[in-house]
Chains A and B, each alone.
Chain A
Amino acid sequence: MIRLPAITALVLGLCVAPAFAQESPDALVKRVAEDVLTTIRSDKDIQAGDIAKIRQVMEVKLVPNFDFARMTALAMGRNWRTATPEQQKQLTDDFRTLLVRTYAGALSNYRDNTMDYKPLRMNPADTEVVVRTEVKRSGQAPVQIDYSMEKTPEGWKAYDVVVAGVSLVTTYRDEFNDTVKSSGVDGLMKALTNKNRGPAPPPPVK
């Protein structure tokens, strides 16, 4: 009885996966962003500040569209090669957890905003593009959010997010570099683990 739905899901998944692989990067960003925003706006628990629920939504809808291994490698810069494969895996996992925690907190504040998607100009042969969007907030200047995307066998994936000119990867490169310089790769891994073990962000007060 359990096997049947699993097989159906697998078959369905096989049919659906190639369709998404064809999806252009800007269409992907728009589909995922709208999907997440719609979920956040309609979910009563999330509105009440249930961070665990937001994280669950992120794991399902956002995480598969990011290349965390590349993000971690980029954020580590030259220190990436000095880490062992096990350390690299651990670092990627910890960085991913940190980002999911951070964005779960951020997303819960974003429900009243609307997104504006800029037209993308790309050649069919391109394997790296930047998808530009803008978040519109009432009574405030819009915030530009750019996604650096790469083409992978599983479709387009994001490897950097640039908010108002501040790149996530570059910001963390400073954090990681300084930490590795003062306490080594082990020190960085410890800092990330401690960070992830710390208290979750408080729900918004609104």
Chain B
Amino acid sequence: MTRCAALRVCMTLLASACLLLAGCAATPSRIDPLAPWNRAMFSVHEVVDGNVVKPVAQAYVKYTPEPVRSGVANFFGNIEDLFVGINNVLEGNGNRAGDDFGRVLLNTTFGLGGIFDLASMMGIEKHNQDFGITFGKWGIDQGPYLFVPLFGPTTVRDGTGTVVRAFLGPITYIVTDVPVRNVIYGIGYLNQRAQALDTEGVVDTAAIDKYRFIRNAYLRARRFQVYDGKPPPEQDDEGQ
């Protein structure tokens, strides 16, 4: 990026952050006590992501052949399956953990280091699971909602889960060469961002207020996961 473009990005970023902080749209609420801060972070994210990360992710999707992108997604997905399994153990879901570890074993060996998802082809289903969900099942409250630029929606509990996950590596411990490791991290990030492109298009069309829409959808989806797909009816806030 040229220095001029970088400067312009910074200016727009600053301007929109100021506008938002000055604006009155962000009223703190019970589910979002940090709303003014989060809204400002969201607008920072929109500028940085929209000008830099998203175009790179779009170019990645456009110029990388599908089989290569699938291989990349499967490779990182396979590493994630290991942690899905660990979390299923922590939650006491023995059978599911068995499936998860079976997937990792199969895909790492016959799937050539995870590039091919043979397990899915054989009908061993992939699961969604992470430390945030485990903490939730242990009864830990989600805490305030947070929007983190370049990472997206989270909560104090889920964010803590993400930090725990980051500390466990394993790429950090396996790949000791720093530049190589950074390239792997970069590709992993790009892979995640590219996967979110489709959903993002839907949110753009659907939402009246994108920040609010993402927050509410995120919190409900997480609640659904913590309650294993059977959440109790929500308390109606209408009466306040």
A interface residues with partner B (beta carbon < 8 Å): 77-78, 98, 101-102, 105-106, 109, 138-142, 144, 164-167, 170-171, 174-175, 178-179, 191-192, 195, 198, 200-202, 204-206
Contacts and interface: CB of A to CB of B under 8 A. Distances in A.
Contacts of A198: 205
A195 B208 contact: yes
A205 B205 contact: no
Interface of B: 58, 61-62, 66, 70, 73-74, 77, 117, 120, 125-128, 197-198, 201-202, 204-209, 212-213, 216-217, 220-221, 223-225, 229, 231, 234, 238
A203 to B, nearest CB: 9
Contacts of A106: 198, 202
A204 B201 contact: yes
Contacts of B223: 165
Chain B contact residues: over half helix, strand or loop, or mixed? helix
A205 B220 contact: no
Given A105-B201, A141-B127, 7 more contacts: A101-B205, A102-B202, A140-B77, A164-B224, A165-B229, A170-B220, A179-B209
A192 B62 contact: no
Given A165-B221, A206-B66, A139 B197 contact: no
Contacts of B225: 165
A141 B204 contact: no
A165 B224 contact: yes
Contacts of A175: 207-209, 212-213
25 contacts: A78-B238, A98-B205, A102-B202, A102-B205, A105-B205, A106-B198, A138-B70, A138-B117, A139-B73, A139-B120, A140-B77, A141-B126, A141-B127, A142-B126, A164-B221, A165-B224, A166-B217, A166-B221, A171-B220, A174-B216, A175-B212, A178-B209, A179-B209, A201-B204, A202-B201
B209 A205 contact: no
A89 B54 CA distance: 38
A52 B128 CA distance: 34
A2 to B, nearest CB: 37
Contacts of B229: 144, 165
A206 B70 CA distance: 13
Nearest 9 pairs of A and B residues by beta carbon? A165-B224, A102-B206, A109-B198, A141-B128, A141-B126, A201-B205, A102-B205, A139-B117, A106-B202
A206 B220 contact: no
A205 B62 contact: yes
B201 A191 contact: no
B208 A201 contact: no
A105 B202 contact: yes
A171 B217 contact: yes
- Most A CB contacts (10 A, CB to CB) among B74, B201, B204, B223 go to B201
A105 B128 CA distance: 25
Contacts of A191: 208
Given A102-B206, A175-B209, A139 B217 contact: no
Nearest to A140: B126
B126 A165 contact: no
A72 to B, nearest CB: 14
A204 B194 CA distance: 12
Contacts of A98: 205-206
Contact of A201 (B73, B202, B209, B220): B202
Contacts of B62: 205
